[in-house]
Chain A
């Protein structure tokens, strides 16, 4: 019985048809779940298994391997701040400190109002505009206190 993916079976079949093997639709379908729900719950994994003809263990194996798949609910806007070398030497930890002191946004936590969550991530391919952070799906580089203020103000 599908609840989470009930409305999306047609879309899933379309995606699966692109690949020589149904199993290849695993990541795309998990992305659909995460985009819809914000994270991937146990129930969602059961549904993905059902739709793709895999076992729940197989789905969990995949979810737990890829760092972008969230296994817990995140804030309305999820922040992914890079702390790999280029960003680290250009101030990513200072940006983290700023987010914490001014906005109470802390690593691996959801803010009490549910607006933000923050995660430190490895290089996000924006090294020449370090320090860089993904704000939801949008990349922001050259972070400064002013740009962080603007980013935070623009989020719902």
Chain B
């Protein structure tokens, strides 16, 4: 079923352009916290059933069904914790920041509902260190909610019902977005991921059962409880339901964060919603779900932006972050940029990820500068594989999925643009006019800087 644009409802960020924070009075004026109050009288199993029924899937990247995850908690083990993942560091992704800055109380209400569902009395929001404003807004909103008695002991005046919420700031480490690393970081250590199992639902924060969910996942919960699962399923493509936030960046005319149904196609998103490619350049490739996922070429973008649609095209929806590259972008340079990221962010615990990401980065830089060989390309292929789960020397052979995330873009770039890699070897480096070896070389790709005074 495809809904017409007239039925697209901006639920999460209706006024994103205004960039205003909705404080508690405004929120309550629109019926805010009514759902949490209602949820207090519901059985936890009934809340979980509604969430399950809505088909809500995690918005942090993996798309795991939220209700099912909540159902994994072992019976009778307490205390339990909820950790909201606001680390948002997957390159391309920039949706949780406006959610926290603009709708902090909706998120808090979501936290209360989720805590009631999973029978937790303590929740944490782990916000990446770079989000100073989001952390300040969240802290102030949490203080407001405590003052009203919506958080803390005996919430909404109900004896014995408690929900504590702590705003916790990270300090710059992509890996802390990985759920087990987030928990070790929250415990006050280096953010090292842990081998699973045990899964956090069984043994998580301080060794206790813990549920970790993305900001956008949690913020959807009050809407589902208020309007019902059927309402949420109005927007559906196969097993992807609800309106969702797409972060669009790169070379489109109107980059931004857009709230759309999963039936919207990648092509519509780029050309209709975002106005097409800047300067009417040609589209070179698209990264459809955050920097970790395989790349798509222009003939692969006529697919719905659902988990299933993007998978059918050979990539992943991930965190719904779309990075659009025009023909001025050298694919070898682009993947070298990303490999720098993964090399920098690898926590170093596993040899395949630590060494593999370093090797890939070094080889890609060599290809760019000149001096790369065909043997280098083979080594890259051996390490990165085909850009699919389990192939190559890293994917599936490391503690966490950062290893996979480092390999997939390289494997996919090799498959999609093999000829250009070979050209880099044959021509002794990058021949793109806009090539930049980690520093501007006097050519300005960004028109805003074209007339830059050279002093």
B255 within 8 Å of A (CB atoms): yes
Q: List B contacts of A86 (CB < 8 A).
A: 91-92, 249-250, 323
Which residue of chain B has its CB nearest to the CB of A129?
A: B255
**A69 with B94: CB separation less than 8 A:** no
**B91 with A85: CB separation less than 8 A:** yes
**Residues 104-154 of A at the B interface (beta carbon under 8 Å):** 121-131, 134, 137-139, 143-145
**B256 with A88: CB separation less than 8 A:** no
Q: List B contacts of A137 (CB < 8 A).
A: 132-133
**A27 with B170: CB separation less than 8 A:** yes
B321 within 8 Å of A (CB atoms): yes
**A102 with B190: CB separation less than 8 A:** no
**B173 with A126: CB separation less than 8 A:** no
B168 within 8 Å of A (CB atoms): yes
Contact residues on B (Cβ < 8 Å of other chain), bracket: 35 or more
Tell me the complex Cα distance, A102–B329, Å. 27
**B172 with A127: CB separation less than 8 A:** no
Which residue of chain A has its CB nearest to the CB of B251?
A: A89
Tell me the complex Cα distance, A122–B345, Å. 9
**B337 with A21: CB separation less than 8 A:** no
A23 within 8 Å of B (CB atoms): yes
Residue among A27, A88, A123 making CB contact with B188, cutoff 8 Å: A27
Tell me the complex Cα distance, A129–B257, Å. 10
Residue among B88, B188, B190, B344 making CB contact with A125, cutoff 8 Å: B88
**Residues 401-455 of B at the A interface (beta carbon under 8 Å):** 436, 438-440, 444-446, 448-449, 451-455
Q: List B contacts of A91 (CB < 8 A).
A: 444-446, 448-449
Which residue of chain A has its CB nearest to the CB of B89?
A: A123
**A69 with B130: CB separation less than 8 A:** no
Which residue of chain A has its CB nearest to the CB of B342?
A: A122
Residue among B186, B321, B440, B446 making CB contact with A90, cutoff 8 Å: B446
Residue among A62, A68, A94, A122 making CB contact with B91, cutoff 8 Å: A122
Which residue of chain B has its CB nearest to the CB of A137?
A: B132
B392 within 8 Å of A (CB atoms): no
A71 within 8 Å of B (CB atoms): no
B247 within 8 Å of A (CB atoms): yes
Interface string of B334-357 (1 = CB under 8 A from A): 100110010011000000000000
Tell me the complex Cα distance, A130–B185, Å. 29
Tell me the complex Cα distance, A67–B346, Å. 13
**A68 with B452: CB separation less than 8 A:** no
Max chain A C-beta neighbours (<10 A), residue from B88, B90, B249, B439: B249
Q: List A contacts of B11 (CB < 8 A).
A: none
Q: List B contacts of A90 (CB < 8 A).
A: 249-251, 446
Give A contacts to B, CB under 8 Å: 18-21, 23-28, 30-31, 52, 61-62, 65-69, 80, 83-86, 88-91, 93-98, 101-102, 121-131, 134, 137-139, 143-145
Closest 4 A/B residue pairs (Cβ):
A91-B446, A68-B172, A26-B188, A66-B171
Q: Could you list 11 examples of A-B contacts with CB < 8 Å? A: A21-B187, A24-B168, A31-B129, A84-B91, A86-B92, A86-B249, A89-B325, A89-B329, A122-B341, A125-B97, A127-B91
